[in-house]
C-alpha cells in the first residue's frame, strides 16, 4: 500500500503574497500621508516646540535653560501644587467610594458614607490650603484668571444648553414660521465675534441711555456700570457682602456671559434639532397610548435619548469657554480691574505685551493640561450616564 505525499506549494507564491501585503500597506500609508504631514506640521510640532520654549527664559531671544522655572513662576511652590492636586484626588476617591457603595447590594453603606465624608473633608482642606499657598508663591495674575475662567464656563455652558434644549423642543413642534425661527436663532453663531462684541459693548455701556440700563429702569432697578464694574454681581444686585471665590463672578464678567449665551444658543439648538429628528416617533405614540402626558414623554423619552447630544455639546462647550478669546478681548475694560481676564487673555498679555515667550508657553501648557483633565473628568463622570439606546 503506497501513501501519497501532499503537493508542495512553490515558495514564490509566499513571496508574492508578502509583496502584495507590503503594497497594500504602502498604498494605505500614501493615502494617510497628506493628513499626517498636515497634522504633524501644524498640530504636533507646535506642541513639542512650545514644550521646548517653556523650559527656557525666552524673551524675544532665546535665553538660559531654566528647566521648570516658568512653571514654578506660574503655579508657585511645588508642594502647594501637590497638595492642591492631592485634594482633587481625594475628591475623586470620595466619588468613587460613594458610587461603588450605591451600586453594591451588600451592607456597608454606612462605612462607605463615613469614608466619603472623611475624603470630602480632606479634599476641601487640601484644595483650599494648597490654593492659598499657590497664591502666596505663584503668579497672581495667572492664578486669579483660573477661577474667572471657571466662573465664565459655569455661567455660560449650563445656560446655553438649557435654553437651546427648550428652544429646540419648541421649534420641533408644528408651528408657523418654523424655518424662519431656526434661521434667526442660528444667526448669532455665524455673526463675526468681534463685530458682535462691539455691539454688546455698546448695549452694556454704563450710560443711562444704554439698552441694558434702560431695561433695568423699566423693571424698577438702578442703572449699572456693567462692563466697567469690577464688584461681584451678587454684591451689586442683591446687596450682599461676599468676598473671594464665594462672591462669584464680577458684574463685568456677567455681561460677557450674556454674550456667550447669546452666541452659542443657536448652534446648540440646531444640534438638538438634529438629535430630536433621530428619535423614533413610535416611542411617543406608545407613551401616549399608555397615558403619558407631554412632560412625562419629554422626561422619560426625549431627555434620555438626547443624552449623547447633550454630553457632546457640554464637552465641546467647556473646552471652548476655556479657550475663548476674541469677544473677551474686545469687551474687557481696564475699569473692570482684571475681573474679566480669563486664562487665555492672561497668556496673550504675557506673550504679546510682556514679550515673555517662554513663560507664556508654560502658561499655555498648564491650560492645556487643565482642559485635558477636565475633559477626562467629564468623560468619566457624565459619560457613564449617557444612554445610547
- Residue whose C-alpha cell reads 401616549 in the numeric block: 288
Q: For 208-235, what is each residue's pLDDT tens digit? A: 999 999 999 999 889 999 999 999 999 9
Can you count the helices (H) and strands (E) in the chain?
18, 0
| pLDDT score at 2 | 52
- What DSSP string describes 244-305? GGGG-SBHHHHHHHHHHHHHHHHHHHHHHHHHHHTS-HHHHHHHHHTT--HHHHIIIIIHHH
| pLDDT score at 150 | 95
Domain range annotation of the chain:
73-138, 154-385
The whole-model pTM stands at 0.89
The total number of residues written for the chain in this structure? 389
Q: For 366-379, what is each residue's pLDDT tens digit? A: 999 999 999 999 98
CA 38-53-318 angle, to 5 degrees, is: 65
- Asked whether the beta carbons of 112 and 97 are under 8 A apart, the reply is yes
| Residues lower than pLDDT 50 in the chain | 1, 12
* Closest CA relative to residue 333, chosen from 251, 263, 264, 258: 251
Q: For 104-163, what is each residue's pLDDT tens digit? A: 766 667 788 888 899 999 999 999 999 999 999 999 999 999 999 999 999 999 999 999
| pLDDT score at 389 | 65
| pLDDT score at 172 | 87
| pLDDT score at 108 | 66
Helix axes 307-323, 140-171, angle to 10 degrees: 150
User: Cα(first)–Cα(last) distance of the chain, in Å?
Assistant: 66
CATH of 154-385, one of 1.10.10.10, 1.10.1060.10, 1.10.940.10, 1.10.3720.10: 1.10.3720.10
Amino acid at each position: 500500500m503506497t501513501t501519497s505525499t501532499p503537493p508542495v506549494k512553490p515558495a514564490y507564491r509566499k513571496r508574492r503574497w508578502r509583496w502584495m501585503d507590503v503594497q497594500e500597506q504602502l498604498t494605505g500609508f500614501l493615502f494617510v500621508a497628506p493628513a499626517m504631514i498636515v497634522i504633524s506640521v501644524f498640530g504636533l510640532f507646535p506642541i513639542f516646540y512650545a514644550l521646548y520654549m517653556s523650559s527656557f527664559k525666552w524673551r524675544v531671544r532665546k535665553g538660559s535653560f531654566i528647566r521648570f522655572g516658568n512653571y514654578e513662576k506660574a503655579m508657585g511652590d511645588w508642594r502647594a501644587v501637590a497638595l492642591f492636586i492631592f485634594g482633587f484626588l481625594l475628591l475623586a476617591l470620595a466619588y468613587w467610594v460613594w458610587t461603588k457603595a450605591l451600586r453594591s447590594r451588600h451592607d456597608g453603606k454606612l462605612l462607605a458614607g463615613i469614608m466619603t465624608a472623611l475624603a470630602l473633608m480632606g479634599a476641601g482642606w487640601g484644595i483650599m490650603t494648597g490654593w492659598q499657598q499657590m497664591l502666596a508663591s505663584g503668579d497672581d495674575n495667572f492664578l486669579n484668571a483660573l477661577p474667572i475662567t471657571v466662573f465664565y464656563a459655569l455661567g455660560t455652558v449650563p445656560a446655553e444648553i438649557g435654553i437651546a434644549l427648550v428652544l429646540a423642543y419648541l421649534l420641533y413642534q408644528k408651528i408657523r414660521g418654523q424655518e424662519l425661527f431656526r434661521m434667526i436663532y442660528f444667526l448669532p453663531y455665524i455673526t463675526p465675534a468681534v463685530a458682535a462684541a462691539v455691539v454688546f459693548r455698546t448695549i452694556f455701556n454704563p450710560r443711562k441711555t444704554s439698552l441694558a440700563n434702560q431695561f433695568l429702569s423699566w423693571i424698577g432697578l438702578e442703572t449699572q456700570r456693567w462692563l466697567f464694574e469690577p464688584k461681584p454681581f451678587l454684591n451689586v444686585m442683591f446687596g450682599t457682602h461676599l468676598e473671594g471665590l464665594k462672591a462669584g463672578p464680577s458684574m463685568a464678567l456677567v455681561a460677557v456671559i450674556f454674550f456667550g449665551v447669546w452666541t452659542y444658543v443657536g448652534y446648540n439648538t440646531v444640534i438638538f434639532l438634529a438629535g430630536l429628528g433621530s428619535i423614533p416617533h413610535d416611542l411617543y405614540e406608545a407613551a401616549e397610548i399608555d397615558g403619558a402626558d407631554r412632560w412625562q414623554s419629554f422626561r422619560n423619552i426625549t431627555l434620555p435619548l438626547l443624552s449623547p447630544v447633550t454630553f457632546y455639546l457640554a464637552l465641546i462647550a467647556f473646552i471652548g469657554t476655556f479657550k475663548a478669546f476674541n469677544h473677551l478681548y474686545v469687551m474687557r475694560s481696564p475699569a473692570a480691574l482684571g475681573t474679566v481676564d480669563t486664562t487665555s487673555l492672561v497668556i496673550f498679555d504675557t506673550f504679546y505685551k510682556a514679550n515673555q515667550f517662554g513663560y507664556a508657553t508654560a502658561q499655555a501648557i498648564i491650560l492645556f493640561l487643565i482642559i485635558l483633565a477636565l475633559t477626562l473628568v467629564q468623560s468619566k463622570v457624565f459619560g457613564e450616564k449617557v444612554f445610547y439606546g
